[in-house]
């Protein structure tokens, strides 16, 4: 945090008044002179000062959060209005004796950093965001692959159980040759996927074709149970 101290001598009163910090009677103001925010460069400087004086940027590897803490409602309103002029959509909440203005979306945080001229911060933030999104994508793919593998294993074990049931009730010889070939392959490769089993058949068969033959095997087991 930075503090600028200016002795209140006669020659400095004009500066404070010109900047809109005090009125004609040299009384400190709760709100800015509206003329200060008329130009885009001044609005950027205002946002830069707010961030240096009361800003917080969360660790982008964990979450996207940029916050400005204002002591009064007037100042919070000016910051909200200024951010809106830059196309940002901030939120505001009252917390004890202050007003917290915050941005939670990555694109909005990056744009704020660009507005205040924190170019190095933009690069670092974007690097963290890319790494985080890549890591999340890898995790999603791994989770999806794990779920598919788990589903495939469960289906394979169910098919093995049905085949063994048929074998115990009537023997696999009751199955027509194409079904018996698939049944024997499933017993040898209980964890193989339908696609992998299809490639082991002679001639090879598509996944849907293998699935159709297993439905026929289920029907044979169902008929044997009725008998």
Does the model's pTM come out above 0.85? no
Predicted local confidence at residue 63, as pLDDT: 83
Predicted local confidence at residue 73, as pLDDT: 85
Question: Which tokens sit at 212?
Answer: 């159709």
For 20: left if phi > 0, alpha if psi spans -120 to 50, otherwise beta; the answer is left
Query: How many Cα atoms are found within 13 Å in the side-chain-facing hemisphere of 149?
Result: 6
**CA 90 remoteness from chain centre:** 19
Predicted local confidence at residue 152, as pLDDT: 85
DSSP 7-18: ---HHHHHHHHH
Question: Which tokens sit at 116?
Answer: 């205040």
Q: What is the dihedral of CA 108, 111, 117, 118, to 10 degrees?
A: 60
Bridge partners (DSSP) of residue 22 are 28
Question: Which tokens sit at 172?
Answer: 């696999």
Question: Which tokens sit at 63?
Answer: 């979450």
* CA–CA dist 92, 115 (Å, integer): 19
* CA–CA dist 166, 217 (Å, integer): 9
Question: Which tokens sit at 36?
Answer: 């200060």
Predicted local confidence at residue 23, as pLDDT: 67
Q: Three-state SS for 192? A: coil
Query: Would you list the domain boundaries of the chain?
Result: 1-30, 31-117, 151-226
Domain 31-117 maps to which CATH number in 2.60.40.420, 3.10.28.10, 3.40.50.300, 3.10.129.10? 3.10.28.10
Question: Which tokens sit at 73?
Answer: 């409602």
Name the stretches of the chain with pLDDT < 70.
1-31, 33
Q: Supply the Cα-derived Rg of the chain in whole angstroms.
A: 35
Question: Which tokens sit at 138?
Answer: 């890898």
Q: Three-state SS for 42? A: helix
Residue 103 contacts residue 109 (beta carbons within 8 Å): yes
């Amino acid at each position: 945090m930075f503090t600028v101290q200016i002795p209140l001598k006669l020659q400095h009163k004009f500066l404070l008044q010109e900047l809109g910090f005090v009125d004609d009677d040299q009384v400190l103001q709760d709100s800015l002179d509206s003329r200060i925010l008329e130009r885009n460069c001044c609005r950027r400087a205002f946002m830069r000062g707010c961030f240096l004086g009361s800003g917080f940027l969360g660790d982008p590897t964990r979450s996207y959060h940029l916050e400005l803490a204002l002591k009064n409602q007037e100042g919070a309103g000016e910051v909200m209005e200024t951010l809106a002029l830059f196309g940002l959509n901030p939120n505001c909440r009252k917390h004890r004796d202050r007003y917290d203005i915050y941005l939670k979306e990555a694109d909005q945080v990056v744009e704020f950093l660009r507005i205040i001229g924190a170019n190095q911060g933009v690069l670092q933030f974007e690097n963290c965001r890319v790494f985080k999104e890549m890591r999340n994508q890898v995790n999603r793919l791994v989770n999806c692959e794990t779920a598919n593998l788990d589903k495939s294993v469960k289906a394979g074990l169910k098919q093995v159980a049905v085949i063994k049931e048929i074998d115990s009730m009537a023997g696999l010889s009751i199955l027509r040759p194409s079904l018996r070939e698939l049944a024997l392959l499933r017993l040898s490769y209980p964890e193989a996927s339908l696609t992998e089993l299809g490639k082991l058949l002679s001639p090879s068969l598509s996944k849907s074709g293998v699935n159709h033959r297993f439905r026929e095997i289920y029907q044979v087991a169902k008929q044997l149970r009725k008998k």
